[in-house]
Structure 1
Amino acid sequence: MRIVCQKCAAAYAIDDRLITAKGVRAQCPRCRNLQLVRRDSSAVPSGDVPAAAPRPASSAPPVADDLFAELGGPAAAAPTEVSSAHGRAAKPAADLFADFGAPAPEASAAPGVDPFASLGDSPGSGSGDPLLDFLGPAPTAPPAPVARMSPGPGAVPVSVMPPAAAAPAPSRAAAPAPAAAAAPKSATMGCRTCGKSLLDPFDQALGICDGCRQRESAGGAAKAAPAPAPAASADFLPPLSAPEEGGGESLELASRTSPAPGLASEPRSNPRAAPSRVASGVRSGSAEKQGARGSSGGRWALVGGLVLLVAGSGVAGFFYLKHQEDQRLRAAAPPPVAAIPEAVQQVLPRWKLKYLMLEGTSQERLAEGQAQLARDERFAYAEAEESFQQALLLDPRSDEAISGYTQALALGRGPGLDDASFAEASSLVEAAEVRAGRTPGMLLAHANLLLTRFRQEELLKRAKELAEESLANAQATAAQKAEAHLVLGRVYLSSSGALAHQHFDSAQKLAPELKRIQYYRALAHESAGEYRLALETLRKRLAADPRDWDSLATTSRIYQEVGEPDEARKLYEERVKADPEELRALLPLAVLRYQSEGSPAVGVRELRALLKSRERYSARDVAEVLVHLAAAERALGNSDAALKAAEEALGSSADLPEAHLQVFLVALEQRDAAKARKHLSGIQGWLGDRALEAVLEGRVLLLEKKPAQALERFTEASTRDDRRLDAQLLAGVAAAGAKRREDAFRVLNQALRADPLRLEPRALVTRFWMRPSDTVRGVEDIILALAENADDPGPHLYEGLLRFHQGDLDGADRHFREVLESDSNNAGAMAYRALIALQRGNASEARALAARAVSAGRQLPVAHLAQGLVLAEGKQVEPAKRSLREALGLSPTLLSAKARLAQLEVPQRRADARAQLVSVVGLDPAYLPAKRMLYLLER
């Protein structure tokens, strides 16, 4: 069947028997286009091979320039001249099979068979093929033979004589009749058996005449020679595959006797690689005998294999070299740049405002920060914090800068770290952990940051997990493992002193030069109530390094909390002798005056003396001096002077929270709600005490006439820290301001039964200094508005309670007297009057009032507490112990009763007394009377 390419209009033929019912895919030999070919209803059925039609004697050979004449027109053999040199006839100009080397048949032999007679037009049709007109005129002179590669399976090159270029060839449509064809072709070769000249192109292609072929066929049947396989020409392309059948059969080509010359391929056909040989019984009209091709086919198969091997090696080498080049380029290329996390992008604009003139490189700033961290001093941590900020500004992708910044921030600020900075540092270190991985250094910085919130159990648990993970990391260095043990020891400071010391010992073995080990070991001794051991450890550290300001400050604080401010003063005076202009020694001496020694006037004088030499100090140091001056002026009652000093400090450093606190407290005293609200935002998140911040916010709401909202804040503060008696009192005041009498009396009754000697937990040495009663000042007379009549004792009872905790003993005693005039058996009023008399030194009145209170209210713990304290003051030890035990039985949270009872039991039960005092300090580390008793007990 003849096929016309749908893409380039080239014509080629395929065997009808290969076309299945569903069709096959055929490939054009010129452009390699694939197209679907279906069976023509007029084609020969795909049965056995049809017999070749005999050629008429009068048929003329095809036109010399028509390469496809044998496909559709009649073919006749004409007498030709025989070459005497080789006994072979000259090849016709258009004979495609002239180089097959078969001898020509005799003239009397049967006419040759046209192998494609059944595929095209009938012999006598005479009509041309218009599809082949695109070939154009034939060349005037026949060029040299060229090698033509058949595209069929197992194809080998075939020598082909291209058409002569003597004159342009007419199209097939206008071809003359066979009688008027060109002159007959002469014989070019003879039969290889009998030597006769072969005139028929098919006989010439086979190299044997028809008679000899018939005789060899009959004689070779007994030899059972393999059936010859067809050799496909460039115009007879086997189908590639049938649709839905996985591919058509390949045709096996028979071998040739002699190899074809290795010439270039014909211009209109491309050579194809030989596919795998598959046995087939299909015979083409150009097929040769199997035996005649055996030796040549093997050599060509070997050549084809070598060609494929060379080509495959070349392709493999190309891809190998390309792979090596890609590897080299990837190795030489810089690593991919990681994206800047959003947390880093948020802090960079604000930090740039702090460092407008940045110089140097990020590595230089990192080295500075690491050196400052290695100094292991609290004041060096602030410098390291700034160095790491600058390093991150110079290189926002530096995870080392984030790790160092978090470490410096956590170690330098400690519990004083504000909430905003804590949240910012948390987001930075978490982003760095995602980008750089959970390295030991990053995990330890994160753990130290979490320890700044040591009152939150969940954060302590996370810090412990991070430290344990860094210890388990195989890449952790000895210094990092020591830091991990330090973190674990700090986690156990408040829960298990033994475990804390165990981890500190491990850190000491890994990093003996680490200064903070001794510092945290001293804190462990302090948390266990071992103040003597804590002070000895710190003094050893100071002996090795007198300029260890952290150890010096901690030693001074312990001395002040145990009631030995003179010892604290001696420490700083020694430092002043060594360096008279050292502000870190001069300023603590002035602060001692108004915070611990109760001499605010002396403190104001010394602080003003420091300000006369302010040009020697930095702006930040001057602002710190001004803040302490404002606090000392407030202690003296000079609110205006305090406000002036605090505002001047804010002028030097606008983000100083301790200065905002002093302005805020003055605004509360002056009842300036707007100013108080403005400066409240400057202290929120900085105090390290969320309960205290809630109390201060509630005070502002009371000033703004919002008692209901204030009540919520005071309730929140009391829930966060049940030690805050001031929050309970203020909650009652807020409820009274909201005209909620029952709620006010319920809350105030709880405050009446609480510990009267402990208003709030308060740090003695702090930059956020407040007087003991600052939180409850300025809310007088609000409770009195709840009185239903002049004889109503309730409002006067609770107003007297408020005045008692404000320190106004005269006002409190007056209100309690008002209560007793209306209700002579009021146990609460008599108990608090007894405590007032005891503080004034009137022992007899105190004893009588306490006895009446116990008689009137045996279920009131404050009454038993007052009686126990009065009896202990009168040296009646055993009756005092009984009263104090009764008070503790009614209210186990009365820490003052527990501490006084332990003090009375020291002579007989020293160990039990110490255990009770340690438990008091554990419940409230700010309960200074118990610390004083422990210190005296050890001494």
Structure 2
Amino acid sequence: MGGEDLELPMLSHLDPSAASSGGDLDLLGGAQAAGNEPRLAGATALSPDSRISSVKPARTSHLTAAPVRSAQREGSGGGVRSLAAGLVVLVLLGGGAAAGYFLLYKPRQEAALKASRPQGPAPVSPEVMAAVGRWKLQFLELTGTSADHLAEGQRQLAKDQRVAYAEAEESFQQAVLLDPRSTDAIAGYVQALALGRGPGMDDNSFQEARELIQATESTVGKLPGLLVAHANLLLSRARQSSHLEEATQLADAARAHPDATDAQKAEAYLVLGRAKVATSRELANKDFDEARRLAPKLKRVDYYSALAHEEAGQYGLALKLLGRRLELDPQDWDSLEASARIYVEVGETGRARKLYEDRAKAKGKAGDLRSALALAVLRYQAEGNAREAVRELRALAKGVSRYGPRDASEIWVHLAAAERTAGNADGAVKAADEALKVVPALPEAHLQLFLVALAGKDAPRAREHLKGFQGRLEDPALEQVLEGRVLLLEQNPAGAQERFLAAGKLDPRRLDAQLLAGVAAATAKKREESFRLFYPVLEARIFDPLRPAPRPALTRFWLRPGDTLAGVENVVQELGGRPDDVQPLLYEGLVRFHQGDRQGAERLLRSVVETGTNNGSAQAYRSLLALDAKPAQALELAEKAVALERSLPVARLSLGLAQAAAGDVERAKRSVRSVLEVAPTMLSAQTKLAELELAARPEVARAMLEKVVGLDPSCFPAKKLLFKLDERG
């Protein structure tokens, strides 16, 4: 050692990989201990490693020990001092090495060890396990693998057809049963459920699907496929603004997700477009265009784009897009069904029938069940021919054993509705019972049984069947009305009145709910309260006397236009006590008018006038009743109504309509405009004014009609006029 300096290695020379691979740490920088190099106890455990010796010290290490040089030894005393210094340095070095081991090496070693161990399966959430427990009962003899069922579900889903969504839904359920951790199967199930059932989905299925998707997002993260499925699910409940907002947020997140595929981004843009249809057709179409660019084969883009044009009142363009879809895929039932529905809503039932007839002919002798069923539904829901519909549906029911549960139950439930409409209550009950045998808890079957019980004033049975469709009619206000009718049967007019008023708040279009609230008060013998509730309907300042009841043109939940008011006649009339007491007669006549009982209404309203009372409202409603059959008499009655009560909106309306029927267009325009001065929200008056402007100012008429349809998509008279404008080009 004489005359040499002792240089110690830096801690940056330590290589933890040596230890992890079974080697030892070299604290001497690769130098071989020999001859005059001191070796201390413990140094033998740190074998040299040739891999380290060529590595230069890293000057950036936060645990570096600067080289220490000893002084030149001068005699033996200097040698002792040098040895002592070396001992001190090595002790310090040992402490530094220990620190390096615990701070750097050991954590890395533990991480490497953890990574090398096989990872256990991800936990299954309680929500998924609960769904699995329920679904097991549906698939008792399940075979195959989860991957097989997943692939089949994805194949069905890719068809983009409503009839395939149900098959996809079941395949995804089976995949989840066989592998509850399959994120793709859960996302596929929720997507198929949302697209297939849409707003018709029952509350239990919606809640179950939402819990499934939320739990899966919590377990594996917000993956693009999960986000898109979740957004589509929320769109099935888009009437709730919070759901619409959340669906938009989820779609935005899916669109911007770094791992999203073009197909998933296209789905996200489709959700965004659907969410904007009601508020901005232009922005919605931009989203649809982007979805089309990302996924040209995504069939639903054209379908929803067509519905956006329909929403805007552009029926010709909507039908053109749907027709293009049918040319590309003649089997696309959704586009066929939407086209037929639009034709019915614009008053072109014959064209709707031709669509289905052409489809049936294309199928040849084998026939097409769906087309045959759709034609029968047109018979009783759009053409007013319930008896012929019954004949056709009975013929289909004879071969019902050839069909699956869904098709069979649909045949039976439409037969029940047609039988009831034709006046055969027993036949309706029998058919509805058959539907429930095929598909227990079918809400549309319970609705028909409820309506039969309601007509028969059978309160217990009505209550029983009410439970079978509550939460599943896609119309909360209507459900409140129907529950109120049960409460009336149960001699609970206060509870009934509460439900009717709640229905009116949920949907201000429900004139029937306001009338029924008055009937409920009359049932409780609350005369003044009853008349107070009837008066807003009578004057027509808020309630539109000619506005169609809010209802779909074609539906599986069939009610005739007057069904909600059926069976409440004579209740108001019984409030009268004297021959000259005209108010009960007047309001009873009002109820009959809205029930569609034209003869009964005319008789009661005429009796009001014959008492010698100057009643403008009675004359106005008599004018409306005479309008179609006796236009000259209608004009005379309307003029009397306005002379008696000029400020009454219904009197002004009757005059404008009578003048239009007489061909006096300019005077009719002035009269209808005067209606809107006192009742600016009356859509029937706005529609009539647009009709009167149609010939001279079509663009003005279009703007008015588009506004009406935007306010109330169920205003079919306005839709009919808009379609006429489209046909003109």
TM range (shorter): 0.7 to 0.9
1:637 match: 423
1:892 aligns with 2:680: yes
Over 3 Å counting, the alpha-carbon distance change for 1:793 and 1:338 in structure 2 is farther
Give the counterpart of 1:721 among 507, 524, 547: 507
1:314 deviation in Å?
9.7
Q: Deviations over 1:375-419 (max 9, x none)?
A: 111111111112222222223333323222221111111121222
Contact 2:361/2:367 (<8 A) preserved:
no
Contact 2:160/2:300 (<8 A) preserved:
yes
Aligned counterparts of 1:915 and 1:305: Cα–Cα separation in 2: 94
Aligned counterparts of 1:491 and 1:619: Cα–Cα separation in 2: 33
Counterparts of 1:214-613 in structure 2, within 5 Å, are: 299=83, 326-579=110-363, 580-613=366-399
The DSSP-based 3-state class of the residue aligned with 1:654 is coil
Over 3 Å counting, the alpha-carbon distance change for 1:443 and 1:319 in structure 2 is closer
Contact 1:828/1:862 (<8 A) preserved:
yes
Aligned counterparts of 2:592 and 2:98: Cα–Cα separation in 1: 102
Q: Deviations over 1:554-590 (max 9, x none)?
A: 1111111111112112212222122233212221111
1:725 deviation in Å?
0.6
Aligned counterparts of 1:595 and 1:900: Cα–Cα separation in 2: 25
Contact 2:632/2:662 (<8 A) preserved:
no
**Letter paired with 1:479:** A
Over 3 Å counting, the alpha-carbon distance change for 1:306 and 1:920 in structure 2 is closer
Contact 2:306/2:318 (<8 A) preserved:
yes
The DSSP-based 3-state class of the residue aligned with 2:143 is coil
1:893 deviation in Å?
2.2
Aligned counterparts of 2:88 and 2:677: Cα–Cα separation in 1: 108
2:592 match: 803
2:698 match: 910
Aligned counterparts of 2:445 and 2:228: Cα–Cα separation in 1: 33
1:765 match: 554
1:433 deviation in Å?
2.1
The DSSP-based 3-state class of the residue aligned with 1:634 is helix
The DSSP-based 3-state class of the residue aligned with 1:468 is helix
1:189 match: none
Aligned counterparts of 1:648 and 1:459: Cα–Cα separation in 2: 36
2:603 match: 814
Aligned counterparts of 2:454 and 2:248: Cα–Cα separation in 1: 41
Aligned counterparts of 1:748 and 1:316: Cα–Cα separation in 2: 89
Aligned counterparts of 1:463 and 1:905: Cα–Cα separation in 2: 41
The DSSP-based 3-state class of the residue aligned with 1:518 is helix
Contact 1:433/1:442 (<8 A) preserved:
yes
* Aligned length, in residue pairs: 650
**Letter paired with 2:340:** S
Aligned counterparts of 2:270 and 2:97: Cα–Cα separation in 1: 64
After TM superposition, the structure 1 stretch with the greater mean CA deviation from structure 2, 595-604 or 315-324, is 315-324
1:723 deviation in Å?
0.6
1:747 aligns with 2:536: no
Counterparts of 1:19-58 in structure 2, within 5 Å, are: none
1:842 match: 630
Aligned counterparts of 2:275 and 2:105: Cα–Cα separation in 1: 59
The DSSP-based 3-state class of the residue aligned with 1:504 is helix
Contact 1:793/1:823 (<8 A) preserved:
no
Over 3 Å counting, the alpha-carbon distance change for 1:316 and 1:632 in structure 2 is same
1:292 deviation in Å?
9.3
Aligned counterparts of 1:750 and 1:417: Cα–Cα separation in 2: 36
2:714 match: 926
1:465 deviation in Å?
2.1
Contact 1:343/1:427 (<8 A) preserved:
yes
Over 3 Å counting, the alpha-carbon distance change for 1:855 and 1:476 in structure 2 is same
1:666 aligns with 2:452: yes
Q: Deviations over 1:618-659 (max 9, x none)?
A: 122111101010111111111110111001100111121111
Aligned counterparts of 1:570 and 1:903: Cα–Cα separation in 2: 28
1:775 deviation in Å?
0.6
Give the counterpart of 2:405 among 619, 636, 644: 619
After TM superposition, the structure 1 stretch with the greater mean CA deviation from structure 2, 641-650 or 377-386, is 377-386
Where does the alignment leave 5 or more consecutive residues of structure 2 unmatched?
1-40, 42-74
After TM superposition, the structure 1 stretch with the greater mean CA deviation from structure 2, 538-547 or 396-405, is 396-405
The DSSP-based 3-state class of the residue aligned with 2:592 is helix
1:879 aligns with 2:670: no
Aligned counterparts of 1:311 and 1:419: Cα–Cα separation in 2: 68
The DSSP-based 3-state class of the residue aligned with 1:659 is helix
**Letter paired with 2:725:** L
Q: Among the aligned pairs, what percent are the same residue?
A: 55
Over 3 Å counting, the alpha-carbon distance change for 1:355 and 1:303 in structure 2 is same
**Letter paired with 2:322:** L
Aligned counterparts of 1:350 and 1:344: Cα–Cα separation in 2: 10
1:312 deviation in Å?
8.6
1:789 match: 578
Aligned counterparts of 1:759 and 1:526: Cα–Cα separation in 2: 19
Contact 1:838/1:870 (<8 A) preserved:
yes
Give the counterpart of 1:935 among 720, 723, 726: 723
Q: Deviations over 1:882-924 (max 9, x none)?
A: 1111112111222111111111111111100111111111111
**Letter paired with 1:478:** D
**Letter paired with 2:408:** V
Contact 1:726/1:759 (<8 A) preserved:
no
The DSSP-based 3-state class of the residue aligned with 2:627 is helix
Contact 1:837/1:845 (<8 A) preserved:
yes
1:648 match: 434
Aligned counterparts of 1:911 and 1:873: Cα–Cα separation in 2: 23
The DSSP-based 3-state class of the residue aligned with 1:454 is coil
1:788 deviation in Å?
4.3
Contact 1:725/1:759 (<8 A) preserved:
no
Over 3 Å counting, the alpha-carbon distance change for 1:424 and 1:314 in structure 2 is closer
Aligned counterparts of 1:804 and 1:910: Cα–Cα separation in 2: 33
Over the residues paired in the alignment, what is the CA RMSD in angstroms?
2.4
Over 3 Å counting, the alpha-carbon distance change for 1:373 and 1:740 in structure 2 is same
Over 3 Å counting, the alpha-carbon distance change for 1:316 and 1:469 in structure 2 is closer
Aligned counterparts of 1:333 and 1:668: Cα–Cα separation in 2: 68
1:299 deviation in Å?
4.9
1:136 match: none
Contact 1:451/1:463 (<8 A) preserved:
yes
1:446 deviation in Å?
1.7
1:323 deviation in Å?
6.0
Task: Decide which structure has the larger Cα Rg and report it.
Answer: 1
Where does the alignment leave 5 or more consecutive residues of structure 1 unmatched?
1-261, 263-290
Aligned counterparts of 1:707 and 1:390: Cα–Cα separation in 2: 49
2:20 match: none
**Letter paired with 2:580:** D
**Letter paired with 2:244:** L
The DSSP-based 3-state class of the residue aligned with 2:259 is coil
**Letter paired with 1:525:** H
Counterparts of 1:729-740 in structure 2, within 5 Å, are: 729-740=515-526
Contact 2:548/2:714 (<8 A) preserved:
no
**Letter paired with 1:894:** M
1:776 deviation in Å?
0.6
